Amino acid sequence: MKTIGLIGGMSWESSAEYYRLLNELVRERLGGLHSARCVLYSVDFAEIERLQVRGEWERAGDVLAGAAKGVEAAGADLVLICTNTMHKVADQVQDAVSVPLLHLGDATAEAVRRAGITRVGLLGTAFTMEQEFYRDRLAAHGLDVLVPDEAGRGLVHRVIYQELCLGVVREESRAAYQEVIRSLIDRGAQGVILGCTEIELLIGQEHSPVPVFPTTRLHAEAAVDVALALTDFSG
């Protein structure tokens, strides 16, 4: 089994989900007492959030690149950035290590395409919804990406940082997200990408009339696929 390197803490709420999912998925596939081989570097999210707000992405990238070097030194065979937004610096992180970085956007886009969907809504932080780094990655897979209007983007972003990153899950916010999802469907979205790892704490498939694509789970599934690809436990 390959060792999965996790760059987490952005926020730790969703990083905990990564750890749970990786171990559950390995147990499901291998049975018994099997669990995932992984190493985690958890950053201080307050530092990263300040750099995001200031637009100091290169400095934020330096922090994550250092984390990636740490998990590689600890034995990681592949690296995951456990957040959608910080994939803005994915190339900087990949350049810092010799092991492959498994891009969350690629794993998500492949799942959307497998579902036969080409026009998809995207929920995430304002950075993810409004900047090109993530939408262009999805578009490179042939997807037509829709984002909420300005008011919807503001609401989605605010709930992520002021509630979900703090572990707060409110029914009022769930209902507001469902309204945003309905607006994307009205514009032609055939499915919705939950493009922030915390959103899965609030929205599940039961809350949407169209397929939702939970990026944390999809990223974890792709990582386990890679980690077990060369492993034969039949004997």
Looking at the annotation, which residues are catalytic? 83, 196
List Cβ neighbours of 53 (8 Å cut-off, separation of 6 or more). Answer: none
Q: How many CA atoms lie within 13 A of 87 on its CB side?
A: 31
SS3 73: helix
Query: Which secondary structure element, helix H or strand E, spans residue 194, and what is its range?
Result: strand 191-194
Rounded-to-integer distance, Cα 33 and Cα 199, Å: 30
Q: List the one residue out of 14, 85, 95 whose CA is nearest residue 62.
A: 95
In sequence order, the β-bridge partners of residue 200 are: none
Residues 161, 164, 165, CA angle at the centre, nearest 5°?
60
Query: Which secondary structure element, helix H or strand E, spans residue 7, and what is its range?
Result: strand 4-8
Q: List the one residue out of 181, 175, 183 whose CA is nearest residue 193.
A: 181
**Token digits for 30?**
């291998």
